[in-house]
Amino acid sequence: MSILIIDDEEVLQDVLSSLLRGEGHEVLSARTGEEGMRLLRDEEGIELVLLDLMLPGISGQEVLAQIRQEDPNQVVVVVTAFSSIEGAIEAMRQGAFHYIPKPFKNDEVLLTVRKGLDQRRLADENRSLKAQLRERYSFDAIVGKSKPMQEVFELIQLAAPSKSNILILGESGTGKELVAKAIHHHSRRASGPFVTVNSGSMPADLLESNLFGHVKGAFTGAVTAKKGLFEVANGGSIFFDEIGNIPIDTQAKLLRVIQEREFMRLGGVETLTADTRIIAATNADLEAEVARGGFREDLYYRLNVITISLPPLRARTEDIPLLARHFLTRYAQENDKPIEAIAPEAMSLLLDYRWPGNVRELENVIERGVVLSTGTEIDVELLSPAVRRGEGMAHAAISAQAPNGEISLKEAVSEYERQLIIRALQETNGVQKHAAEKLKVKPTTLHEMIKRHRISVESLAS
């Protein structure tokens, strides 16, 4: 490691330099505080500073203050005479890592330096990990240049620093959890935990035990006490994936947590505080669930403070090439493949496909193509059979309406026409004039077709 010694005593400089070089460290020396600060500014990679408090010119305390101001992460060990221990303690209050009294023992110096360097290493690793997390869950990780996605980015940026609960809406595969993580990692709770609750994957009693924890003996098999996810997420965020699947009884208990910010473990009597931000997501129509009694209205309004609606991939086709290249780069690197491009014919099929599985399906298709490729590009033959056949377009909608497979040609053509109109409206943000241009029909003709097919233009506008 690189260590800077700031001390005006030549003998002490020589002793410390020899001792530290014997441990394999690179040592830089300065006789004054001014010279030490110049070295810190000019030399990169100084991991630790040994600083004498009694210096000519600016004092060691002033040097420490400057170091803390310019680089709060710098590890500083102060060196002081026994008569100045109080000054050393004050230096530690101001941010020094530790102090070494004069006269010192060599082993004591080496041990203190090792501990200081260990702290520096851990702090650097921690900052690096946090930077990686911020990068992974930054807006750059959520790929999209289309207008609907730019609006999503803007909402995330505005909502993340707030304390409000957030509801993320979107079809399966649109990236709701990725958005939830981006919100968390751009919030004031970024240093706290991010805990995911798979709301629809467990029975009600087990879900409540997981959420709130339980005391020993609360039920058969509860041989020890257990923390719940609200306790685990304390100081951070808790993400409810598919919130609409939570049983109605559990919804009442969740509402209490949101309103009172407190809960009790199952079988317990102690009230615990829930210092967590709730982020919920669903692909269901919660308003319809409220209307039919499947979801509590009061809980819906508590969750629905800020709503972020993620568009399906078919509504942002201009993002498909960007996403495809993003996944291509990632999986080519992971699989050590020299794949650099997607063949134009293959890209054309990707653009025409309706992507019922959204971004997740596109990612799977690209990963499959990378794994199976033996060349430098993904061609048509490497795409999934569904994409090659063009499934997920009108065919999928027709099949969904005719489960027995019986449908007339007139009905099939009508449904295909309806799907083309919907797609054009989605891609033009509901602007009928632009949709008509895409479909190469007159605006008045398109208007009549929309009325005939009973298409709600407002619901298709992002």
Residue 338 sits in a domain whose CATH number is 1.10.8.60
Q: Are residues 323 and 358 in the same domain?
A: yes
Q: Are residues 402 and 355 in the same domain?
A: no
Nearest to 116 by CA among 63, 61, 48, 70: 48
Q: What is the pLDDT of residue 101?
A: 83
Q: Are residues 235 and 365 in the same domain?
A: no
Residue 227 sits in a domain whose CATH number is 3.40.50.300
Segments forming the whole domain that contains residue 446? 394-460
Report d(CA 21, CA 180) in Å as an integer.
49
* Burial state string for 40-79 with b = 16 or more CB within 10 A and e = fewer than 16: beeeeebbbbbbbbebeeeebbebbebbeeeeeebbbbbb
- Decide which of 337, 360, 389 is a domain's last residue: 389
Q: Are residues 7 and 71 in the same domain?
A: yes
How far does CA 197 lie from the centroid of its chain? 16
Q: Give me the helices (H) in 186-260, please.
A: 204-212, 229-232, 248-260
- Decide which of 309, 342, 364 is a domain's last residue: 309
Q: What is the pLDDT of residue 48?
A: 92
Q: Which DSSP string do the residues of 293-329 spell out, in sequence order?
A: TSS-HHHHHHHTTEEEEPPPGGG-GGGHHHHHHHHHH
Q: Which DSSP string do the residues of 93-146 spell out, in sequence order?
A: HTT--EEEEES--HHHHHHHHHHHHHHHHHHHHHHHHHHHHHHHTSGGGS---S
Return per-residue pLDDT of the chain as tens, 462 residues.
789 999 988 888 889 999 899 888 889 989 999 999 999 888 878 889 999 888 888 888 899 999 988 888 889 998 887 656 777 788 888 888 888 888 788 888 899 999 988 888 888 777 766 555 554 445 656 888 888 898 999 999 899 999 899 999 999 999 999 999 999 988 989 889 999 998 766 777 788 888 988 888 877 777 788 888 999 999 999 999 989 889 888 899 999 999 999 888 888 888 888 899 999 999 988 999 999 999 999 999 999 999 999 999 988 888 899 899 999 999 999 999 999 899 989 998 998 898 999 999 999 999 999 999 999 999 999 999 989 887 544 444 444 444 444 556 677 777 778 778 887 887 788 888 888 988 888 888 888 888 888 777 765 654
Q: What is the pLDDT of residue 146?
A: 86
Chain length of the chain: 462
Q: What is the pLDDT of residue 364?
A: 96
Q: Are residues 128 and 199 in the same domain?
A: no
Q: What is the pLDDT of residue 310?
A: 94
Number of structural domains (the chain) is 4
Nearest to 386 by CA among 397, 377, 395, 378: 395
Amino acid identity, residue 63?
V
| Alpha-carbon distance values, 290 to 169, 177, 245, 294 (Å) | 15, 23, 12, 6
Q: Are residues 157 and 296 in the same domain?
A: yes
Amino acid identity, residue 423?
R
Q: Are residues 114 and 159 in the same domain?
A: no
Q: Are residues 220 and 281 in the same domain?
A: yes
Bridge partners, residue 4, by sequence: 28, 49
Q: Give me the helices (H) in 293-431, please.
A: 297-303, 320-334, 344-352, 358-372, 385-389, 394-401, 409-427
Read off the tokens for 217.
């003996």
Residue 442 sits in a domain whose CATH number is 1.10.10
Residue 101 sits in a domain whose CATH number is 3.40.50.2300
Q: Are residues 281 and 318 in the same domain?
A: no
- Please name the residues in contact with 191: beta carbons below 8 A apart, sequence gap of 6 or more: 130
Report d(CA 217, CA 367) in Å as an integer.
48
Report d(CA 422, CA 76) in Å as an integer.
65
- Decide which of 81, 98, 132 is a domain's last residue: 132
Half-sphere exposure in the Cβ direction for 285 (13 Å, CA): 5
Q: Are residues 206 and 78 in the same domain?
A: no
Q: Are residues 92 and 169 in the same domain?
A: no
Residue 12, phi then psi, degrees to nearest 5: -65, -40
Q: Are residues 351 and 438 in the same domain?
A: no
